[in-house]
Each structure stands twice: as structure tokens, then as C-alpha cells.
Structure 1
């Protein structure tokens, strides 16, 4: 039996710590999305305009990285091997991209006009439950008792926050919660459909193509519903538009991607569960959102249910870095 040279152990520990740090950074950056959208709303910039700016800033970066990755795959392809990308695969990726980065993103962004950033984040966090449900319905996958228990725990937590906020803020909470639940359903659908495509193309090329489909769809949506001049934002608004595309989208994507390479997808996913905690903290500190005993109990239950779910049979979902 051979053992690793002792000199390689410090390097391995360094890579592991670097992976953990990158996973934490990625989770923290992703957690800023709802905060930036809320700040944009305070500046008078609606969610469709913010989503459009997100695409304007982020898509060219993802596409550039995707072109580099595609050329690398072409150079590594053996003679006589099947093409890296065929028409059928391209159309599938475009369709999946529209589900994840247009439909799900639009619904999630729109929900923030009605509910708090922290509540939105907690509901979206439960999308793996829908992955399991769809797996059971369409692929006859088994649902275990611990998975059901984890689901019940999380949704009791959501119900506590929902009933409190509904009594304080009115029917808008029902609209917002419905929108983000719909976003979660579409994101779960996206995760199921994206998995084989990511396995085939790799995350970088897949993301570039998916964003390439969603970006024009978002821009068309904007042009149908807004005058072109609404894109002209200045001052703090412009900084927020840059932030939604870079800090909340591009930077976390590459942090998470690097973390997966260093410590693997499972550990990265577990560390990523700190993201809602960061969102809650920022929502209270930056936005001044209320955090009552009901929010505290609900948050603990949601996070506890998600943790139990991850331990007791989390479904195989796409190792995909970009959230809706």
C-alpha cells in the first residue's frame, strides 16, 4: 500500500481551504441578488429592467468563456469522434435556458416586488423538494419517509413566516409567495432537464449557451413592456445594475465553479446553504427588513428541513453554478 508524500499533504490542505473559501464567497455573492433587486426597486427601477441589465452585463462574459471552452473541446476531440455540439443538443440547451434563466428568473425577480428578500430566498431554497416530486412522478424514483419529514419541517417554517407577513403586509404576500413558488417549480424543472446536458457539454459551455438563449428573450420581454429609454439609469441605479450582473451573477458563478473543482460538488453544495443566512443578515442590516420571532422560527425550520433533506437523500441535480 502506498501513501501520499508528506510534502503533498500541506498542499492538499491549502487547496481544500481555498475551495471552502471560494464556496463561501460564491454563496455570499449569490445571497446579494435579492438585496440588489430591492435596492433597485427603491431607486425606481422595476424588476424587468433589472433582469434585462443582468443579462446585458453577464451574458457577454459567459459567452466569451463559453467560446474559449468550446474551442478547447474542439482541440481535444479525437479524430472520428462525434461532434461536440449538434443541432438537437443546441436546441435542447436553448429550451432549458429559457426555462431556468428567463421564466424562473423573471418570476423570482417579480416576487421581490411583493415579499421580503429573506422570505423569497427561503422559499426558493426548497426547490430540491420539487426535483424529488418530479422524479417520483415522471421517473418512478422512490420518496423516503425522511425526505417527506424534511419537506414538512421546511414548509411549516415557510407557513409560519407566510401567515405572519400576510397579517402585517396584506394580500401582496400571497402574490409574491405564489410567484417564487412558481419560480422554484421552473427551476426544479430546469435542474432535471439540465443535468444530462451539463454532463455532455460541461458547465461552462452549457451556461454560455443557456444564457445566450435567455438573454435575447429577456430583452424582447423588456422591449414589449417598456420604452427603450427605461434602460437609461444613472448614479446609484447604474451601479446597482452593474452589481446584479457581476457581484450577484458572474463572480459567484466562477467562485462556485472553482470550489467544485477543488472540494467537489457535494461539499460545495453543503457550504452553499449559508447563502440564506447571508441574505437574512443583509436584508435586516441593509434594507431594514423586520425579523421577528416568527421569522427566526421559520428560518430555523426551513434551514433545518433542507439540511435533513441533504443528509437523507438529496436528489442528483445539475452541478450548475448560476441561480435564477
Structure 2
């Protein structure tokens, strides 16, 4: 291959690619961990509270480091970060975990993977961005793949498949809105600083929500597996993939890192089969392939 593809060297590129793939697999695995936690008497409110409660010290440490080493933010930027934290990580995560109570991990990951297409549609609707025929075709292919898997899951049973899919769809749209609104702020504040601050906002919102809806002593009355799985969900499926993705973006660029993230739906499908005994059928593989092709075409156009 040409050295132009690897300006910092082949090993650096492959290392960055491996980091991006690892981050995508770990982040996608949160659906698997959530499904395991739901086997115990835990609802979405408690699940997301434990996730954020265990994540908060790590994100807070990064936030304090950034606050001390960089210039203070304006009040306007602080307000924007609060809004972004509530939209992108609190609302999106909560809707996602609510939906996971009703649908398979594989379908959840496919719906969330439509986020780039929602960003494209929002750009078209609100910013009058020109969308090419290739991008329209990519959107159609992606949505066709998701509908195929959705109909497959409905046929297999489950009265609340529609409800769960709608909730996860709301999570994808919410996160797409976060990406749209954070564009200008990222360049001014920095990706790591923005993520750390926004995640702290989200963590606090989730904890406050729990205190309003549930008696706090319940947090101390769970079984050991719930605590263990929640810790895995926080550290390995939340904090670690966030920073792995940022490292990968710094090494290989956002476009390549995004394409590496396409391993997510595939890894979730097979992890679901391996750990949760979710079926892997020809229809699911076909639908997943269609979604991956559609998102790949979109990502290629952006480059």
C-alpha cells in the first residue's frame, strides 16, 4: 500500500485501527451486559443509575484535570454542555436501556447504528445540506436492513417489539441531535473535555432521577452479580470505549474510526448468540449486511 495512506507509519495506523475496533466492540457490548442485568429484578432506571454512578468518578477525574489545565469556559458554553449532556447521554442512554427490555441486542444495535443517517437527514432538513442520490440510496439500504430484522423479530414473537424499537429509535435520534449540536463546541472546547463534562452532567441527572423515582436504600440491596455487571457496564462499556474512540480518532482520523465502528452491529449479533442464546438467522445477517453497506456508503461520501 502507498505510504500516503499511513503518514505516521503502517504500525501507527494499524494500532489506531485496532483501538477503534476494540472501542466499537466494547461500546456495543453494553447491550449484552444490560440484557444480563435484566435477568435480575432491575429496571431501566436502576440499570442506568448504576452505570452512571460507577462511571462518574472516572469522568469527574478527567473533567477536573481538564478544568485545571485549560482556560475556563464561558457561561454560554457551560449552558450548552448541560443541554448536550442531557440530550446526548442522559436521554439517549435512558431510552436505549428502556428499549432493551423489549427487543434483542442485535436489533438494538442495528437501530442505533442508523444514527449517522439521522444526522444526514437533520442536516438536510434544518441546514439545507445537499444530499446526493448516492446518500439517498445509502439511507434506503440502511432502513431496509433494519426493517427486515424488525419484521423478523416481530414474526418470532414479542408483543412489545414495536415499543422497544420505538424507544431505541428515540435514543438514536436523540444522539444524532447531540452530534449535530456539538459540532461547533467540539472545535472550541475539545473532544475529551466536552465528553468528560457532558458525561458528568448525564451522571448527575441519572442519579437525581433515581432519587426522585426510587428510595435510595434500594441501591444497597442488590445482589453481587448486579454490582459486578454494572461495574463492567460502566468501566468497559462506557468509560473505556469513549476514550479508546478518541485515541483512535487522533491516530487515524474520524472517517476511518467511524468505518471501524461498523464492526459494532456484527459483534453484537454474535455476542448475543454466544452469551444470550439469541438466534442468528439468514434474515438477520442479510439485514445487518444491508445496514453496514448503507452506513459505509455514507461514510465514504463524507470522506
| Bin for the TM-score computed over the shorter chain | over 0.9
Q: Which residue of 1 aligns with 2:23?
A: 26
How many Å separate the matches in 1 of 2:19 and 2:236? Answer: 14
1:158-193 Cα shifts (integer Å, max 9, x gaps): 111111211222331000111111111111110001
Per-residue deviation, 1:54: 1.2
Comparing 222-231 and 94-103, the one that deviates more: 222-231
How many Å separate the matches in 2 of 1:219 and 1:93? Answer: 18
Per-residue deviation, 1:117: 0.4
**What secondary structure, in the 3-state scheme, does the structure 2 residue paired with 1:240 have?**
helix
* Residue 206 (structure 1) aligned with residue 206 (structure 2): no
Q: Which residue of 2 aligns with 1:49?
A: 46
Kindly report the root-mean-square deviation, in angstroms, between the aligned alpha carbons of the 2 structures: 1.8
How many Å separate the matches in 2 of 1:12 and 1:71? Answer: 34
Give the TM-score, by structure 2 length. 0.94
Comparing 242-251 and 301-310, the one that deviates more: 301-310
How many Å separate the matches in 2 of 1:211 and 1:11? Answer: 31
**What secondary structure, in the 3-state scheme, does the structure 1 residue paired with 2:101 have?**
coil
* Cα pair 2:258 2:299 within 8 Å, conserved: no
How many Å separate the matches in 2 of 1:302 and 1:11? Answer: 32
* Cα pair 2:96 2:168 within 8 Å, conserved: yes
* Residue 286 (structure 1) aligned with residue 283 (structure 2): no
Per-residue deviation, 1:235: 1.7
Q: Which residue of 2 aligns with 1:317?
A: none
1:202-247 Cα shifts (integer Å, max 9, x gaps): 1121112212221221112212222213312232111101011100
Q: Which residue of 1 aligns with 2:136?
A: 148
Structure 2: gaps of 5 or more residues: none
Shift of the 11–190 alpha-carbon distance from structure 1 to 2, 3 Å rule, reads closer
Per-residue deviation, 1:10: 11
* Cα pair 2:255 2:302 within 8 Å, conserved: no
How many Å separate the matches in 1 of 2:245 and 2:235? Answer: 14
Structure 1: gaps of 5 or more residues: 75-83, 315-324
- Point out 4+ residue stretches in structure 1 off by more than 3 angstroms: none
* Cα pair 1:59 1:208 within 8 Å, conserved: no
- Max Rg structure: 1
Match of 2:11 among 10, 14, 27: 14
How many Å separate the matches in 1 of 2:298 and 2:124? Answer: 15
